[in-house]
Structure 1
Amino acid sequence: MKQKKNLFLILLLAITVFVFFNFTDSSDENKDFSERVKVALREVGNQLLLSNGDSISLVLPVKEHDKNEFEISFENQLKFMPNDLVLIVKKVFKKTTFSKNYRVSVISSFDSEVAYSYEINADKEKTIIPCSGRNLPKNRYTIKVTFLEIKSSNFLWIFYIFIPIIFGVFYKRFFKVEKQKMVIEKVDNNCTVLGSFIFYPAQNKLVKKASEINLSKKECELLAIFVANPNQVIKREELTKKVWEDNGVFVGRSLDTYISKLRKKLQEDKNIKLTNVHGVGYKLEIK
């Protein structure tokens, strides 16, 4: 039981550490993704300017509108062939681990209309690159890049959902089932496991680890009746008849006295409780 408890605690610690580091890594990964995209898009902007023979004007700061949507804009107007844009973006992104599914839109700053757009997909049949050979006239453009699929560990979210279930299963497997199974178990004709005790009725004693708890004959007879009927109410009349029937005069308070003594001897195990059912009798409660 102790080994199983230690195994459960190790499992709990391992899952806790895993979840903590995964959440931390996920946050860092999202932040790193954003920064890497901005660097890559600045390189895209720089290559477009160079294709215009412009090595002086600036690529303005990259804007992030969402975790998967970014914009680059330019200090001055420029013109370019859409095919050049497609090749430049492809070449720059090839050096990264970004999603292979993305959409690029060229927006005219004059009227905010989409002057050109295309979509790249890992599934080549879904890739759309229209009119790549038509020149875009000189204008002030904003280029918006939308990643359609970002690497994520969706299976981990399923794992997080099932964590309480996993804990429940292991707890039931290692603790509750084991406890119910071992609370009362007859080892042989000489002894019975009773929670953390071993009961030897023939020797009038209880044993707990290395400790022996001596029982009087009456205590032993009473406990034997309770052990044979766990979690059942035993009437006072039945107890007195079985234990004192052949012993002459019976004093009414004797039963209560012996029950009190037994209760004290069993109190070390919290899973075992000898309770009084008022006006009826007694019950050995096994949790």
Structure 2
Amino acid sequence: MRSVILTVLLLSVIGLPGYSYGGKVLVTMRKIGHEVLLSSGDSTSWVSPIEELDDRTFLIRFQHPFAFQPASLVEIIHRHLQEKQGGLDYLVEVREEKLNTVAYSYEVHHPLNRKEIACLTRKPPRGAYTIKIQFAQPPVQTASVDHTVWLTGLLLTVLLMGIGWRLVYRKPLTSTPVGQAAPLNLVHLGPFTFCLEQQILRLGADRIELSAKESKLLKVFATSPNAVIDRDRLMEQVWGEEGVIVGRSLDVFVSRLRKKLQPAPMVRIVNSHGRGYKLEIDSPKGPGQED
């Protein structure tokens, strides 16, 4: 049985044709936002950190209101996506955030047929827009197998063989107690159990889904419970790889995380004015302790 499991894991890695460039999708989205602002005559305001709503949906936010020309928008988005994502179909929605309405939308089925896209020559008014791009399937770019990919596959094989060995012997998942600086795998936060890999919180039989950013943020808090963590450290560890960091995004995701922690009031995120945030976890009261 053990040899069968290891053989399957080995073949699954050797058969990989390439690898995913998930991080490059975020770079592509930022380039789209940058070029959309330039086409509107804005060369100074920021494109906020790209939000990955799920594995095929991305949201581009902007610092200031702007105006756009639909024909230019369609050309910019398709040029970047055609170059990086090949023949994937996708849906674009331009939303007016203050009015909570869709100001403009269209869908592309390759090859692009501009005659099927309405209102290309009309110009919507200036507004606080966001651009949501949703792919028909998760965007993945593959590369031909070379020595680098072969070596990566070999390393993954060794890793998966180790995982298979553990599965055969049914060793339990290691758990990192709160307060230790060991690598996070499964962490207990009061009554919660946090699994970073699966991006979930468990509270008894309840399962609370977390986004990728929420998971990264909670991971930073979990490494230093009951201690104030500076805003700069939080933003750097969660958004640092994206290059541009906007403080408002931190407050938004802290607010979202707070709501997901509400079922257990003894675990909460509190604000330290002028410094940052702290994950507070109340210790359970022992027998004979008073409130």
Same fold (TM over 0.5): no
Bigger relative contact order (CA 8 A; separation at least 6): 2
TM class, shorter-chain normalised? 0.3 to 0.5
- Normalising by structure 2, we get a TM-score of 0.42
- Normalising by structure 1, we get a TM-score of 0.43
Query: Could you say which structure has the larger radius of gyration?
Result: 1
